[in-house]
Amino acid sequence: MRRRPQMPRLAWEKILWRTILVTLFSVLVSLVISEILLSTFSGGMNGTGAATAILIPIVLGAPMIFYLSLKNFELEQAYKRLEASAARDSLTQCLNHGAFVARTSEILKRTSRQRGALLVIDADHFKSINDRFGHETGDMALKQIATIIRASVRRGDLVGRMGGEEFGVFLPDASATLAHAIAEAIRVNIEHFHFTPNGTHCPLTVSIGGITFDMPMSFGDLFRLADERLYKVKNTGRNSIEMAPIDDTVSDQRNLAHAV
């Protein structure tokens, strides 16, 4: 039997206050309407009429208001859980591609001090893991890599699965030194993890491309530049990190354009 999630105290207080205020308003409306009707069709409101006008909204209205407020809160919570679930990759529990892009873009737009880093992480030789051990073991490897990445970053950093064996990490307000330290921690922690499917040692390593920035940037530009760094790592040995500040990357591209 599924247990109903426990409501926080603040939610109960909100529901109770809403019930009280709406009930008081209903009593006031009931008194006004009763006074108008009784004054029109009889000699005015007496004690019995006033008591009836007060008690009916309290007895009938208050429980209904409380019930509807409670159900409204439960619907809000269910919607939040559904929204959170829709934003997560079902295998790794990281943000999915769309949610990662959207949340990173939102931070880039609203942050007054534009500084940070974007890492693109790719699991090395992942196809061989699937070929040797099967897709179920490959999924286990991805889950473990995702767990290590999340454990290696700061609270407030974003981790997303970009697709396949590729992950993205956004480090808001991180200096170049801190971003490189986090990237190295991710790489080392994954390399040192003993992954032994069916008792057979299977080494896990990742390649990381990163870009640090201190100016307004779009997600698309950051990802493209970080992805270029990742491919440099892939083409020169894997299990390594290639990072650059945005100024150096832009300078490299300008030099290449002039050379061409």
Q: Say how many C-beta atoms besides its own lie within 10 A of residue 185's C-beta.
A: 15
Q: Say how many C-beta atoms besides its own lie within 10 A of residue 81's C-beta.
A: 11
Q: Which positions ≥6 away from 238 have C-beta within 8 Å? A: 124, 125, 205, 207
213: enclosing H helix or E strand = strand 206-213
Query: Does the structure show a pLDDT above 50 at 259?
Result: no
Query: Does the structure show a pLDDT above 90 at 184?
Result: yes
Query: Does the structure show a pLDDT above 80 at 75?
Result: no
Which one has a higher pLDDT value, 110 or 235?
235
Which residues on neighbouring strands pair with residue 167, listed in sequence order?
121, 161
Query: Does the structure show a pLDDT above 90 at 87?
Result: no
Give residue 82's pLDDT: 57
Q: What is the DSSP letter of 246?
A: H
Query: Does the structure show a pLDDT above 80 at 106?
Result: yes
Give residue 31's pLDDT: 67
Give me the percent of the chain exceeding a pLDDT of 90: 54
Quick one: tokens of 70? 């409670």
Give residue 117's pLDDT: 97
Cβ 66 vs Cβ 15: under 8 Å: yes
DSSP-derived secondary structure for 115-149: -EEEEEEEETTHHHHHHHH-HHHHHHHHHHHHHHH
CA 197, CA 132: separation in Å to the nearest integer?
A: 11
Which one has a higher pLDDT value, 150 or 29?
150
Which one has a higher pLDDT value, 54 or 114?
114
By three-state DSSP, how is residue 203 classified? coil
Cβ 215 vs Cβ 115: under 8 Å: no
CA 200, CA 206: separation in Å to the nearest integer?
A: 19
Q: What is the pLDDT of residues 20-68, one digit of tens each?
A: 777 777 777 766 666 665 565 555 555 665 666 666 666 556 666 776 7
Query: Does the structure show a pLDDT above 80 at 79?
Result: no
Cβ 199 vs Cβ 137: under 8 Å: no
Length of the chain: 260
The answer to whether the predicted template modeling score (pTM) of the entire model surpasses 0.75 is no
Give residue 256's pLDDT: 43
Q: Which positions ≥6 away from 75 have C-beta within 8 Å? A: none
Q: Say how many C-beta atoms besides its own lie within 10 A of residue 56's C-beta.
A: 14
* H-only helix segments in the chain: 9-41, 47-56, 62-86, 97-110, 126-133, 135-152, 176-191, 219-234, 246-259
**pLDDT band of 69, cuts 50, 70, 90:** confident
Q: Say how many C-beta atoms besides its own lie within 10 A of residue 21's C-beta.
A: 11
Q: How far is CA 108 from CA 3, 115, 178, 246, in A?
A: 39, 9, 18, 15
Helix and strand counts by DSSP (H, E) for the chain: 9, 5
Query: Does the structure show a pLDDT above 50 at 254?
Result: no
Query: Does the structure show a pLDDT above 70 at 192?
Result: yes
Active site residues: 165
Give residue 194's pLDDT: 94
Which residues on neighbouring strands pair with residue 213, listed in sequence order?
116
Q: What is the pLDDT of residues 153-170, one digit of tens each?
A: 999 999 999 999 999 999
77: enclosing H helix or E strand = helix 62-86
Instruction: Compute the average pLDDT of residues 170-182.
Output: 96
Mean pLDDT over the full length of the chain: 82
Give residue 257's pLDDT: 41
Query: Does the structure show a pLDDT above 80 at 85?
Result: no
Q: What is the pLDDT of residues 207-252, one digit of tens each?
A: 999 999 998 899 999 999 999 999 999 998 899 999 999 875 554 5
